[in-house]
Amino acid sequence: MIDGNMLLAEFVKIFPNCALILLIVVVVLVFRDPLRRLFAQMTHVDLLGVKMDFAEAAEVKEELRNAINSYSGIEWYRQGQDESATQKATVDEKTLQQLLDHAERIKKYLHGARILWVDDQPLANAAIFRFLNNYNVVIDYARNTTEAESALEWSADAYEVVVSDMIRDDDGRAGLDLLDITQRMNKSKDRDDQIMVLIFVNNLDTSKGTPAGAKLITNQVDDLLEEIFDIIERKQLQYSNMKH
C-alpha cells in the first residue's frame, strides 16, 4: 500500500528544485530577446575559475572568415588592390566552424609548429598568417626557390609542412622546381619523416591534377588550412608515439 505521507514528504523535497527549473524556463522564454542582446555584448564569463573569452573567439572567427573570403585575394593584391578586380568568395558557416573546431582540438599541436611558406608576394598571405598566429604557429618566409632550398637544407626536419605558390617572378616552373628539390631530399629520409609540400595557387587548373611530389594543390584557403591541420596533427601524434 502506498504511503501518502511518504509521497508528500518526497514531493516537498523535490519541489524547490522543480520550481527553480520551471522559473528558469519561464524567464528564458519571456526575456529571450533581451538575454540574446546581453550575451552578444558580453566579452567574457568567469565561471568557477574557468574564463571563457567570447570577444577573443569572435575575433579569431572573423580573422578566419577574412582569410577565406580574401582569396581571390592574391589576384586582388597583384592587380593593385582594386576591389572590383576580382569577385570575392564567401565561406559558409559550417565550413568556418569545422575549421575552428579542428584548430581548437589540436591547439597544443599547433603551438610552435613551423611552416615554410614560399611566395614572392608576402602580403598576399597576410590574412592567413594573422589567423594562424592565434595558435602560435611559426611561419618562416621564403621569397624564392633558392631561399626555400637553403632553409630546407639547413633543417628540413624543423618544418611540419611547406606551402608554395606555383609562379614566382614570372617563372611558371618555380613551384615544380621546388617539388623536384623536396622529392630529391625525401629519397634520403624515412617514409614517416617526408617533407610535405602543399601548392597554393590563385588559378587552379583541375585538369592537370596534383603535381608529382605535392600532397595537395588548391586555390581554396579552407582546403589548405584543413590539410595543414591534418599534417601537423599526424606528425605530432607520430612524435608522441615514438617517445612512448
Q: Tell me the per-residue pLDDT of 103-119, one tens digit each, with 9 for 90 and over.
A: 999 999 999 999 999 99
> What is the total count of domains within the chain?
2
Cβ atoms of 231 and 196 within 8 Å: the answer is yes
Average pLDDT of the chain to the nearest whole number: 79
Residues 112 and 228 placed together within one structural domain of the fold: yes
Cβ atoms of 221 and 67 within 8 Å: the answer is yes
Residue 143 included in any domain: yes
Residues 33 and 106 placed together within one structural domain of the fold: no
Residue 86 included in any domain: no
Its domain, for residue 165, covers 101-243
Residue 152 included in any domain: yes
pLDDT number for residue 18: 59
More confident residue, 49 or 235: 235
Q: Residue 158 sits in a domain of what CATH number? A: 3.40.50.2300
Q: Is the pTM of this model over 0.85?
A: no
Residues 126 and 222 placed together within one structural domain of the fold: yes
Residues 150 and 237 placed together within one structural domain of the fold: yes
Question: Confidence class of residue 3 from pLDDT cuts 50, 70 and 90?
Answer: low
Question: What distance in Å separates the CA atoms of residue 199 and residue 224, rounded to the nearest whole number?
Answer: 9
Residues 131 and 239 placed together within one structural domain of the fold: yes
- Cell numbers placing 165: 605558390
Residue 78 included in any domain: no
Question: Confidence class of residue 86 from pLDDT cuts 50, 70 and 90?
Answer: very low
Residues 151 and 239 placed together within one structural domain of the fold: yes
Residue 191 included in any domain: yes
What secondary structure, in 3-state letters, does 129-146 show?
Answer: HHHHHCCCCEEEEECCHH
Q: What is the pLDDT of residues 28-66, one digit of tens each?
A: 566 666 655 555 444 444 444 444 455 577 888 889 988
Residue 80 included in any domain: no
Mean pLDDT calculated for residue range 185-193: 78
